[in-house]
Structure 1
Amino acid sequence: MTENSSTGLTRRGLLRAFAATTLTAAPTYSNAFGFLRGAGDIRRIRMYSGRTGERIDTIYWIEGEYIGEAIREVNAFMRDWRNGQTINIDTRTIDIIAATHNLLDAGNEPYMLLSGYRSPQTNEMLRRTSSGVARNSLHLQGQAADLRLNGRSVNQIARAAGSCNAGGVGRYSGSNFVHMDCGAVRSWGA
């Protein structure tokens, strides 16, 4: 494993970022998969977990290529915190999360991850004890995340995620979070 800096960026990721000849500081997105093409395109994700106290701030994609080490870090970070089980998080979901963050112009403020991957056992427990938990949740496939951003409202986050036109967006105003997934384009909640 490589050394991590205090910001959580991997050494390899930093070297690749510095090697890029042109970097785009604040790209605009027509949808999550329409990131600006060409030289200098980078994608970064910033989150923390109130459950585990962990933080992640990593560049996971540079100039058309996902960085395997960074994706593995995201997979570990978004694990089922109740039992430690991991799955490969769908990179489309990571892209939607990152695109939404950029559209919100949230700067360095990280998302709070409430739920990423859910094991079948965790999902079933939540179905028994909570309302609104789907039997075949996309969380089970590593294709969904429930997120909060302290500097933005649920409606602001949901509008930005919806403008990506790249998956499902659920508003949970009563619980102060937004669900984002890479499934069919749809929206729900208030």
Structure 2
Amino acid sequence: MSVLKILQYPDSRLKIIAKPINKITKEIKKISYDMLDTMYKKEGIGLAATQVNIPLQIIVVRSNNNNKKPYLILINPEIIEKKGNISIEEGCLSIPEYRAFIPRSKYIKVKAINLYGNLIEIEAKSILSVCIQHEIDHLKGKLFIDYLSLLKQERIKKKIRKINKKIMLKDKN
């Protein structure tokens, strides 16, 4: 498999709304496994296809409460039930220099399609619930920093511009 390039904030492609998948093909399976390779290589706990410039409804997440596999691949995921509140400090592979506490649902039930084309329902709580909600937001063109105040968003943009300038200067030398 391959490690894919992750789009970095403020890339406008991160705001693209992903399209649903109608059929599980070899290409969809390859994309999903490439996304897993990318997530593991970058030491993330979740990744949405939109983060690797693929506007399709695919997310991958690490799953420590799924005994069969250490990961989940969800196609066309949709939250069908939410309960409770939780706020865990979130980060993002597309915004590596920033973390924030974001209010989320503590428990969710999600319906999705697996790589065999079967409709599945999964229940998630705590950090797995937060991770899935975070990745589904990506499919809707929403970043975790969109939950923050405009002032905090502007600070993040300035910080990232400075970091990007340093990287560009380093690359020139």
Short-chain TM bin: under 0.3
Between 1 and 2, higher relative CO (CA 8 Å, sep ≥ 6) is seen in 2
Q: Give TM-score, length-normalised by structure 1.
A: 0.22
TM-score (norm 2): 0.23
Structure whose residues are more often strand by fraction: 2
**Going by fraction, where is helix more abundant, 1 or 2?**
2
